[in-house]
Amino acid sequence: MRSAPYVLASKYASWMNLMTQIELITVPQDFTRLCNAVLQAEHGTDFLPIDDDRADRGNDGYLKSEKRIFAAHCFKRIQNQRIDHEIRAKMMGDLRKAIQLKMEGDWDIEAWTFLSNYPIPENIARQVIVTGKESGIDVSWNGPGYFAEVLQRFRSVREMFPNLLGNDILDQLDAITAKLESLSVAEPVINWVPRNAQEQRALISQKPPAWEYLLFAGILRQRKEILEPKWRDYLVGNGSRTGRYLDKGAARIYLHGIWSDVESIAERVISAFDERLQLEAFGAPGEPGNAELIKHSADRIVKSYEDLLDWAGEIRGTVLPEDMKRAFDAAAMVAAQPVADIRTFIDQTVTAIDEIPARLAQENPRPIIFTLTLTLTINEAAMAEFRKEARRLRW
């Protein structure tokens, strides 16, 4: 019998413990090393760490794809009282350095993120956002909770910081979870589209006929089910709180740029169907496939689906002048059709592949040939509404 609630509760307690330990860091070099390790785990080579031993002019790292500059800070002593003045001075000072770098043209900067091992008070947050907006910089921050969450997800990063209490607990939880999952009676032979991670592992281990396609469909279905809350939020028009406040000029610039984002998402999902990549993943006729590449291929498709939902959620979560809301709402609805296209593709793929084992079990089965096509289309009604609003606003 499994004890999932216990494991989840223990992981939450361990997250809280990690967050507390991160708040106690008082050596700036240690905190900088943590920031670099976490950002490299999250973004890979897209993140450029900056040597902290030299004058950095307020640049503690740079994310190329987002044109985002980072500033990291921890106090050199444990704080036992309110320190709003010191936090404001540090944040505003580092933000002004970023603004100067942008004005000098040394770095292409559109966004700035403050990394700290302490929470940011709301009154300071409002002031920093306004200052950033005045210079065309999108401001955000990540605190101890963010670092604790990433440490939980990336064991390789946790191992780099053995001094943070909680690592041993997390490792023990990994072992407990693996042990609980191994306590099954007889493992059934999986000859269907796997419904969960356990069936997925069994499928890869057993490798029945057409296991590659069953695995692909299983990952598509599982990932889609995980994203159902986001899909429901999209249907009812909910947005993601972004902390972005735009005036008319900034809103107009923002809307002009969002279409390149959706084109980029579409290009990524289309690239998942590259024939060479598909051959490497599923194998040539008579040759086994590669489970990791199959997972990657399925993940790219569902990630594009999630990116579209996030794209629309970010548009809806932006605070802007009242007379521009209809244009933004129409822009967000443009994603409705490509999102529906990907959902339909996933459902049809699962249905078609789920029939393969029964067809192979027939006496003298005939070769199975089927074509799965994903065509992304645009919500023309929403696009027409957007153009109408653009004309009304005289863009």
Tens-place pLDDT, residues 90-142:
999 999 999 999 999 888 999 999 999 888 888 898 999 999 999 999 999 99
Whether residues 284 and 217 share a domain: the answer is yes
Give the pLDDT of residue 174: 57
Give the pLDDT of residue 324: 81
171 belongs to a structural domain: no
Whether residues 273 and 381 share a domain: the answer is yes
Cα gap 304→173, rounded to integer Å:
32
Whether residues 25 and 124 share a domain: the answer is yes
**DSSP structure class, residue 120:** P
User: Residue 124 sits in a domain of what CATH number?
Assistant: 3.40.91
Whether residues 213 and 343 share a domain: the answer is yes
Kindly report, residue by residue over 323-354, the tens digit of the pLDDT: 888 888 888 888 888 888 899 999 999 998 98
Is there a contact between 282 and 209 (Cβ–Cβ < 8 Å)? no
Whether residues 145 and 202 share a domain: the answer is no
Which residue range forms the structural domain that includes residue 53? 4-158
Cα gap 334→307, rounded to integer Å:
13
166 belongs to a structural domain: no
Give the pLDDT of residue 12: 46
Diameter of the chain by CA atoms? 79
Is there a contact between 299 and 219 (Cβ–Cβ < 8 Å)? yes
175 belongs to a structural domain: no
80 belongs to a structural domain: yes
Give the pLDDT of residue 216: 92
Whether residues 289 and 385 share a domain: the answer is yes
Give the pLDDT of residue 6: 39
Domain boundary (158, 179, 203) is at 158
298 belongs to a structural domain: yes
**DSSP structure class, residue 201:** H
Higher pLDDT, 168 or 358: 358
What's the rounded mean pLDDT across residues 293-311? 90
Domain boundary (158, 174, 203) is at 158
> How many domains does the structure of the chain reveal?
2
- pTM of the entire predicted model: 0.49
Cα Rg, the chain, nearest whole Å: 25
Whether residues 23 and 105 share a domain: the answer is yes
Is there a contact between 313 and 233 (Cβ–Cβ < 8 Å)? yes
Is there a contact between 69 and 59 (Cβ–Cβ < 8 Å)? yes
Whether residues 52 and 145 share a domain: the answer is yes
The identity of residue 337, as a single letter, is Q
Number of neighbours of residue 65 by Cβ within 10 angstroms: 9
181 belongs to a structural domain: no
Give the pLDDT of residue 164: 67
Whether residues 230 and 120 share a domain: the answer is no
Please classify residue 350 by burial: count the beta carbons closer than 10 Å to its beta carbon, then call 0-12 exposed, 13-18 middle and 19+ buried: middle
Whether residues 148 and 236 share a domain: the answer is no
Cα gap 133→186, rounded to integer Å:
61
Whether residues 208 and 94 share a domain: the answer is no
Whether residues 282 and 135 share a domain: the answer is no
177 belongs to a structural domain: no
Least confident of 8-22, 138-152, 163-177, 232-246: 163-177
172 belongs to a structural domain: no
